[in-house]
Structure 1
């Protein structure tokens, strides 16, 4: 190849890829606003609460921040807002093992912060952060799930509870709950947790009676 041909290849090749780059940039900017919901006054106020208590000093959001505590970009999809509000105001009252201290966050500030976190949960992040791979509970690998286990998974109970080392730690360990509670207690607790555990942060299980009974029957097998 002659020097002239090489020079032309370099020039026109660079121009070609530069045009592609401009086109991709234009497309990205055109779709960027569509990936996030409207920022309301309440969301903006919640962002101020986020900064006031330096939440990013321990947590990440959209991958930015410190890695001492969980990522919060999709937290309202994983935890009930009632639970989150109580936890923000007094973490150890909800979970005695919580590492987060009590900052003195008021009920109004908690509502505003949850509005901001709910907004972040609705931002289209192309599937990030990735959902954890849920391992199959010990002893049931390769077996069909029971009706109660299907209800347990459908309602995301494992986001807060742990069974045989699998699940979240926000709520009590359920590995041996069948040896501690009877069927009537479990059904009543699912319908209205606060009637059975004072100041419970657990939300009511919004499900048909038949599903609640199936869930209770599954809990009774955990001994």
Structure 2
């Protein structure tokens, strides 16, 4: 079975074992109608918050293009968009995370820890998990992120396309929080702080 979301869309799915998956925008989850194998295995791309039902005899496996996550029963956020670093942020339980090719040693993640898989390898840090699951309540947290990364999140959240014509802006770092903002209010606030001008025409935003 396949469940997909479009830009600006979120869905909740309950799997046959009771696991709940909250899918963010532009995400795809492939899963069996009923888990019957030794492992509970799903394929995933995009971003989702997983509430995995506890089952010590049958590990839950999440396969993405670049990574594999193995859990028994946990709550965590997994961001695995094809064109970005893969990031897992753990709320509860314990997770084993590794690269799909098996070139690196698996890393064990504990609550309030995050692992990032990039071209430089696997890196684990301690984090405040609220910054990485705000989308569940339609809130946006930008935690010292580049504006280019922020623009990708805005595109997925609101179903728009952003063209950045101010090259120096792409690498500019920003930190801020927004409670369920409208697109216009969000762009307006960002433009004031980051000192850029913009034009919105339909689903196209041009920044200069």
TM-score by length of structure 2 reads 0.25
The structure that is helix-richer by fraction is: 1
Bigger radius of gyration, 1 or 2? 1
Higher relative contact order (CA 8 A, sep 6+): 1
